[in-house]
A and B are shown apart, each in its own frame.
Chain A
């Protein structure tokens, strides 16, 4: 089936993707298989490399914040937030408390929309297009809320060094509360749709295993690591923004569903439960929103002058929807930072594809690959190789195989 395609599909194996953004990026899979089973896995990223860190070393911090918004469109404010926090530590800026709370509210709203995006993508890979449309339709509610608060659906542009650029007025609060009530009422329904369905259970349970030890030595982060039993969440471990005042616990698959087993089904559980947790956090933040200013220094010239004199190095870490996002910044008395290193959450998670995919069937690859929620514009392309017969398959083939398997299992 696939051996004949080896020569003909090389031209366009890379930029193919039916519908979804998570794997719409250039992803090339090169498989060598034994029958239908995957044997070995290999990596080769490099498609969306735009030289962001190099460009950042030529610009001043305010311009860099504008650019970090666009490192990845799905991870809305996490990159800007980590960078701003790192610079604030170097310059010695004390962020006003109200700004911390507003940052937390937007951070959690972004988490809700990112998890719903992923839920739709996963449903599409399994062949449930109606669930895909439902999840994205439900997501539009949070996009409306975000647009009301920040002015744009994607790329919010609300983080500034020393605070946030827009405030939450008293007219906007009832809107936020209405949105939260909507999601709270919906959560049980989504949990039933995703978790009680027998086909989802058949496809996702016991596939894509990542043991706890593998997750630890491969440095996995986020829901991928939590589904395997690692108790790590930056909001719980290393307080930032308003999380020091709240009580956030890392969500691991609960005992009712069998405890953490590290398969695809557990990752679905973790993400759906996190949506409920985000709704709670936003509600707590709204209740105790402190009054005050929202920016440390509203005049940009003074802000840039303060940044120019600063020296030192710092690390800014946040918990993105996909895991831990970390920026290391070093400034040495010039306008542009001397060094800047971005670590996106998918950077750490990509290596966990290797043990997950070994021993799996070809038709299970799309859902396993999508289960770590790869944001490849934060990272890059993947090539998978195995010994034995080698073939190059397009992404369309993989998705088709995955959906056919669902149909077979439903009979």
Chain B
């Protein structure tokens, strides 16, 4: 555990601004309070230039070893934005912040270095981004498919909004399927009135 004591959100943003200057493209702090006392919870959103991605993560590890929640992504037309969602300072009552580090990758060059050497728990999330967005994570120790079946067509990336997304012919509307024709007719007449015991829905007894 590092010796950095608890910082306020503005201090975190300022220390990033000092280190990275213009490389920090955008910084935002949002807050939310719920319940009667409306104790505040803070989210810090930082967006960096692409080449400063690994230094930004290393700086966060120096502040306090973060917990990587997940890597989310956005398809913004000509770019794909990857958001690495971390949380720091857990263990202190009402003192945890969510820090989101975002980078934008142009679709012509969709590569990003791996962070599994710094945070091994990122492996699942990186593999998922590879198959759902088509991002190539360089240096990943294990790049196999994670959730999609092996016979899923290559080059189809479900979460993209452009032509590599799911084509309409792959979507199956399950409710349009009718009653199967090759089964024998049921032995009860079709129009039997529902007797008392036929409450097969979710009704309370």
Q: Is the CB of A44 within 8 A of B74?
A: no
B204 partner residues in chain A, CB cutoff 8 A: 147, 151
| CA A43 to CA B124, docked complex, whole Å | 10
Determine the residue in chain A with the shortest Cβ distance to B67. Answer: A219
Distance A56 CA – B40 CA, assembled complex (angstroms): 29
**Chain B residues with CB below 8 A from A314, complex form:** 30, 43
What is the distance, in angstroms, from B50's C-beta to the closest C-beta of chain A? Answer: 19
A89–B90 Cα distance when bound, in Å, is 22
Instruction: Tell me which of B10-18, B52-60, B115-123 binds A.
Output: B115-123
Give CA–CA (A53, B87) in the complex, Å: 23
List residues 115-157 of chain A with CB under 8 A from any CB of chain B: 147, 151-152
- B91 contact from A152, A231, A338, Cβ within 8 A: A231
CA distance in complex: A2, B184 (Å): 42
Q: Which A-chain residue is minimally distant from B76 (CB atoms)?
A: A338
Partner of B70 from A234, A290, A328 at Cβ < 8 Å:
A328
Closest B residue by C-beta to A88: B32
Interface SS of A by simple majority: mixed
Choose from B35, B67, B69 the contact partner of A243 (Cβ within 8 Å).
Answer: B35
Give bound CA distance, A341 to B43, whole Å.
17
Q: Are B32 and A348 neighbours in the complex by a CB distance under 8 Å?
A: no
Given known pairs A53-B159, A147-B204, A348-B121, the reply for A245 and B35 (CB within 8 Å) is: yes
B34 lies within 8 A of A244 (CB): yes
Interface residues in B, total, Cβ within 8 A:
52
A236 touches B93 (CB 8 A): yes
Instruction: Say yes or no for A324: interface residue by CB 8 A criterion.
Output: yes
**Cβ distance A142 to chain B, nearest Cβ, rounded Å:** 16
Chain B residues whose CB sits within 8 angstroms of the CB of A343 once the complex forms: 69-70
Which A residues are in CB contact (< 8 Å) with B85? 315, 326, 328
Q: Chain B 45-89, CB within 8 Å of chain A: the 1/0 string?
A: 100000000000000000001011110111100000001010101
Within 83-132 of A, Cβ neighbours of B (below 8 Å) are at 89, 95, 97, 100-101
A237 and B72 contact, CB distance less than 8 A: no
Contacts of A217 in B (CB 8 A): 65, 119-121
Contact B123 A216 (CB under 8 A): no
* Chain A neighbourhood of B75, CB < 8 A: 339
Interface residue? B166 (CB, 8 A): yes
**Contact at B147–A326, with CB atoms within 8 Å?**
no
Given A54-B166, A341-B72, A347-B70: A241 touches B35 (CB 8 Å cut-off): yes
Instruction: Indicate if the CB atoms of A315 and B43 lie closer than 8 Å.
Output: yes
Within 8 A of A (CB), among B1-53: 30, 32-41, 43, 45
Q: Are A49 and B147 in contact (CB under 8 A)?
A: yes
Say yes or no: is B193 at the interface (Cβ < 8 Å to chain A).
no
Query: Which listed residue (B35, B73, B147) contacts A244, Cβ 8 A?
Result: B35
C-alpha gap A288/B36 in the complex (Å): 10
Least Cβ–Cβ distance between B49 and chain A, in angstroms: 20
Which chain B residue shows the least CB distance to A98?
B36
B107 in the interface, Cβ–Cβ < 8 Å?
A: no
CB–CB A324/B69 < 8 A:
yes
Q: How far is the CB of B99 from chain A (nearest CB, A)?
A: 11
Task: Please give me the residue from chain B that is nearest to A349 by CB atom.
Answer: B121
List CB contacts (< 8 Å) of A154-177 with chain B: none
Residue of B nearest to A313 (CB): B45
Q: Which residues of B contact A242 (CB under 8 A)?
A: 34-36
**A51 with B36: in contact, given A44-B144, A238-B98 (CB under 8 Å)?**
no
A212-231 interface bits toward B, Cβ cutoff 8 Å, 1 = contact, 0 = none:
00001111110000000011
Would you call A241 and B34 a contact (CB within 8 A)? yes
**How far apart sit A101 and B34, CA to CA, in the bound complex (Å)?**
10
Is A350 interfacial (CB-CB < 8 Å)?
Answer: yes
Please state if B74 and A338 are interface contacts (CB–CB under 8 Å). yes
Q: What chain A residues lie within 8 Å of B124 (beta carbons)?
A: 43, 347, 350-351
Interface residues of A in 328-350 (CB under 8 A from B): 328, 330, 338-339, 341, 343, 347-348, 350
Complexed CA–CA distance, A350 and B124 (Å): 9
Please determine whether B92 and A46 come into contact, CB atoms closer than 8 angstroms: no
Evaluate whether A239 and B34 lie within 8 angstroms (CB atoms) in the complex, with A45-B146, A152-B202, A343-B70 already known: yes
Residues of the B chain whose Cβ atoms lie less than 8 Å from the Cβ of A237:
87, 89-96
Q: A236-B93, A326-B70 given as contacts; is B34 within 8 A of A315 (CB)?
A: no
Judging by beta carbons under 8 Å apart, are A46 and B145 in contact?
A: yes
- In the complex, what residues of A have CB within 8 A of residue B143's CB? none
Complex CA–CA separation, A24 to B118 (angstroms): 34
Q: How far is the CB of B157 from chain A (nearest CB, A)?
A: 10
Assess whether B72 is in contact with A49, with CB atoms less than 8 Å apart. no
In Å, the complex CA distance between A288 and B83 comes to 39
In the complex, the answer to whether A46 meets B38 with C-beta atoms within 8 Å is no
With A54-B159, A244-B33, A350-B124 already in contact, the answer to whether A341 and B65 are too (CB < 8 A) is: no
B199 CB → nearest A CB, Å: 14
When the two chains form their complex, are residues A219 and B73 in contact, meaning their CB atoms are under 8 A apart? Answer: no
A51 to B171 Cα, complex, angstroms: 10
Apart from A220-B121, A230-B90, A326-B85: 7 A-B pairs, beta carbons within 8 A: A218-B121, A238-B94, A239-B39, A326-B70, A339-B72, A341-B73, A348-B121
Seen from chain B, the residues whose Cβ lies within 8 Å of a Cβ on chain A are 30, 32-41, 43, 45, 65, 67-70, 72-75, 83, 85, 87, 89-96, 98, 100, 119-124, 144-149, 158-159, 166, 202, 204
A residues sitting closer than 8 Å to B (CB atoms) are 43-46, 49, 51, 53-54, 57, 89, 95, 97, 100-101, 147, 151-152, 216-221, 230-232, 234, 236-245, 250, 288, 290, 313-315, 317, 324, 326, 328, 330, 338-339, 341, 343, 347-348, 350-351, 380
The 3 closest A-B pairs by CB, nearest first: A219-B121, A244-B39, A237-B96
